[in-house]
Amino acid sequence: MASTSDAGDVEESRTRLCEEFAGAAGTDSGVAQCYLAENDWNMERALNSFFEADMEKVFEEEWISEHEAPTKNQKVEEKAPATRIDLTVDSPGSSHQPSKEDDGGSGLTMITWNVDGLDTENLAERARGLCSYLALYTPDVVFLQELIPPYVQYLIKRAVSYTIIQAGSEDGYFTGMMLKKTRVKLLESQIVAYPTTQMMRNLLVAQVTLRDVKVCLMTSHLESCKGQSGERMKQLREVMRRMREAPDDVNVLFAGDTNLRDSEVAAVGLPPAVCDVWEHLGRQEHCRYTWDTRANSNKSVPYVSRCRFDRVFLRPAGRPRAPRLAPDHMALVGLEKLDCGRFTSDHWGIYCSFAAAADDSHT
């Protein structure tokens, strides 16, 4: 039987936890006590549970407000928006003209973006910002990192013209892919675990076809932080191994938030057939830095950091006569602030297009 002193210590400890939770979550002690009790008084789990529930509420309220019926005092000038938005429709007045036609050939367009779902500030507006870019560019494939479950549910409601696959479901954050239904046929997908990751990182792989072009798509969020260089390079080696060993009639495209430094890539080395798309296209300075605290103010940090964390690697098909992809354009997206005064993410996104042609060099 616990002593009165022990019981007092527990009560004091739990009172302190409630106060810390309330301060961190901006709520009252009653709510704090409920979440802490449900999570065995584990602060980290309780806060994660609170913020996940809070974001589901934010997205739900944002969704309802977009589609609620007008009041009797509001003038109805057009039909209320549908609860689903087809992102393959061209954006009016767009000055960008990537391949938007479903019958426009067997090339491929893509966007890769760490959407920073862990930052809950203005998250609904920032998710809507992502959808605006998808409507503008209508890429065939979208690689996303740092997704959370409410963000995915939002995309499922909005992006009905895409098949969405993800490397996680309920816990933490994860990566995902979006495949345009009219262009990309999904054959199979798998999640490959990194055995020694400390950050729940993995590799999401999808086998697809675009008309007669076979493509293996891969995305990942490699281990973060400078001190995790060794683990990050191990993960890169696994990515490169899979790119190198893929069947020679398949094009292999990897894109994601790699957190890589140039010295780490040099230490691992790229297989002869694999190219870094940014380097292949001439190392254009305007799309070098995808993490740039000098230009992107989403994170308040007391230093300037400019890094090429987000990268795209391609290994074209090597079999004679097999259609092979070749890079032809790269640009950064997300450079404009949203109405809320913040950017879509603390990372810039990367848009790439690839041409496809049969390889006749071996004949």
Same domain, 150 and 294: yes
Same domain, 162 and 276: yes
Give the pLDDT band of residue 37 (cuts 50, 70, 90).
confident
Same domain, 17 and 151: no
Instruction: Answer whether residue 234 is part of any domain.
Output: yes
What is the pLDDT averaged over residues 289-304? 94
Same domain, 55 and 127: no
Which contiguous run of DSSP H or E holds residue 283?
Answer: none
Same domain, 130 and 49: no
Which residue among the candidates 116, 257, 276, 310 is catalytic per the annotation? 257
Instruction: Answer whether residue 113 is part of any domain.
Output: yes
- The 10s digit of each residue's pLDDT in 239-249 is 999 999 999 99
Same domain, 318 and 180: yes
- The 10s digit of each residue's pLDDT in 159-201 is 999 999 999 766 789 999 999 999 999 999 999 999 999 999 9
Contact 286, 332 (CB under 8 A): yes
Contact 236, 268 (CB under 8 A): yes
Q: Give the integer Cα–Cα distance in Å for 185 and 96.
A: 25
% pLDDT > 90, the chain: 65
pLDDT of residue 289: 98
pLDDT of residue 336: 96
pLDDT of residue 24: 67
Domain count, the chain: 2
Q: pTM of the full predicted structure?
A: 0.76
CATH classification of the domain holding 169 = 3.60.10.10
Q: Residue 349 sits in which domain range?
A: 108-358
Q: Annotated catalytic, 257?
A: yes
Look over the chain and give the mean of its residue pLDDT values, rounded to a whole number: 84
Of 18-22, 291-295, 318-322, 357-361, the range with the lowest mean pLDDT is 357-361
Instruction: Answer whether residue 24 is part of any domain.
Output: yes
What is the pLDDT averaged over residues 93-117? 68
Same domain, 203 and 124: yes
Instruction: Answer whether residue 80 is part of any domain.
Output: no
Q: Are strands 291-292 and 306-307 parallel, antiparallel or unpaired?
A: antiparallel
Same domain, 133 and 36: no
Same domain, 199 and 298: yes
CATH classification of the domain holding 41 = 1.10.8
- Picking from 67, 91, 116, the residue at the C-terminal end of a domain is 67
Q: Cα separations (Å) of 97 from 22, 100, 112, 133, 257?
A: 49, 7, 18, 13, 26
Instruction: Answer whether residue 119 is part of any domain.
Output: yes
What is the pLDDT averaged over residues 112-124? 95
Same domain, 155 and 259: yes
Give the pLDDT band of residue 13 (cuts 50, 70, 90).
confident
- Is the confidence at residue 286, as pLDDT, over 60? yes
Same domain, 168 and 261: yes
Reference 276, options 313, 320, 327; nearest CA is: 313
Instruction: Answer whether residue 40 is part of any domain.
Output: yes
Q: Is 12 helix (H, G, I), strand (E, B) or coil?
A: helix
- The 10s digit of each residue's pLDDT in 121-158 is 999 999 999 999 999 999 999 999 999 999 999 999 99
Instruction: Answer whether residue 115 is part of any domain.
Output: yes
Same domain, 186 and 112: yes
Instruction: Kindly report the backbone phi and psi dihedral angles of residue 218, in degrees, each rounded to the nearest multiple of 5, phi listed first.
Output: -140, 140
Does residue 201 or residue 9 have the better pLDDT? 201
Please state the length of the chain.
363
Instruction: Answer whether residue 297 is part of any domain.
Output: yes
pLDDT of residue 86: 52
- Is the confidence at residue 88, as pLDDT, over 50? no
What is the pLDDT averaged over residues 294-301? 93
pLDDT of residue 169: 66
- Picking from 37, 67, 97, the residue at the C-terminal end of a domain is 67
